[in-house]
Homo-oligomer: A and B are copies of this chain.
Amino acid sequence: MYVHTPTPSQTPKTAPTIKRSAFFVSDGTAITAETLGRSLLSQFGDVDFDIKIIPYVDTPELAHDAVARIEQAYQLSGLKPLVFDTIVSDEIRTIINGATACNLDIYEGLISRIADEIGHEPNPHAGMAHGDVDSEDYKSRIDAVHFALDNDDGARTTHYDGADIILIGLSRSGKTPTSIYLALQFGIRAANYPLTEEDLDSSNLPKSLQPYRHKLFGLTIDTERLVRIRQERKAGSRYASLAQCQEEQRAIQAIYTAQKIPNLNVSEMSVEEIATRILQITGLKRRIG
């Protein structure tokens, strides 16, 4: 076993903590196993895990390789790894379950319960979780991603007829990642337009947005947070000053109120949460799924 001998300047103040490993193993991308596994581990917020992802375990040989990695993690830490797997093949799953580990076999049981309920045998096949790339749904998704990019940050305002929603807000309030996520996850065609100083001079909307008031949705963000994000981008600038941010906040709130534009404070939200809340608030339908 490799033993690290620290030089004096590297001496850690406390002994390094031994972390338990958590493996996400799949015969496909492992995205399903990872999504569920992280969600479960987040319920043990104060425990730190050493996460390893092993996708495309679709042959017995690769399964044995994965088992070897799990065994090694066990040997090194003395702690049984948690293994979250979403493997369809019985043969491969059996090999994985042979590792010295706490096996959290996600599909086991669930698939047979569904089969019993619906009276239909499964046709097991790996890697179908992300849909058929020849389907209309998949094309909608890709088209929506291109739409979001082409209509990002007010790049052009001539295609808003084709938009499902137009996100507005101050610079750095999270419009771009939200537009992208709406496209990629839900197939929604989202444009976004930053309301800049010029736009905020009156309580009117910019001309290019006026015909689309019914498609507008505002993102808001706490002033303190906005200042911090802008400082990270342009430290010391007027753009990132508290006074400027406060003034922009006041002005944009006035527009939201005057124009009755639905809006959401996204300060504490991930893009997943923002996108899901927007669907809930607006009633906008996904184009996929």
Question: What's the Cα separation between A209 and B46 when bound, in Å?
Answer: 45
Contact indicator B43/A32 (Cβ below 8 Å)? no
Closest Cβ of chain B to A111, distance in Å, is 6
When distances are taken between beta carbons in the complex, the residues of chain B under 8 Å from A236 are none
B177 touches A142 (CB 8 A): yes
| Residues in B whose Cβ lies below 8 Å from that of A124 | 43
User: Is B128 within 8 A of A30, CB to CB?
Assistant: no
The answer to whether B184 touches A29, judged by C-beta atoms less than 8 angstroms apart, is no
A237 at the interface (CB under 8 A from B): no
Q: Does A163 contact B (CB under 8 A)?
A: no
When the two chains form their complex, are residues A129 and B29 in contact, meaning their CB atoms are under 8 A apart?
Answer: no
CA distance A43 to B53 in the complex (A): 22
Interface positions of A (Cβ within 8 A of B): 20, 28-32, 34-36, 38-47, 51, 53, 55-56, 80, 82, 86, 88, 102, 104, 106-107, 110-111, 113-115, 117-118, 120, 122-125, 127-131, 133, 138, 141-142, 145-146, 149, 152, 174, 176-177, 180-181, 184-185, 268-273, 275-277, 280, 289
Sample of 21 A–B contacts (CB below 8 Å): A20-B118, A31-B276, A32-B35, A34-B289, A35-B129, A36-B106, A38-B129, A40-B107, A43-B107, A43-B124, A45-B123, A53-B289, A56-B276, A56-B280, A80-B117, A102-B117, A104-B113, A130-B270, A131-B270, A145-B180, A146-B176
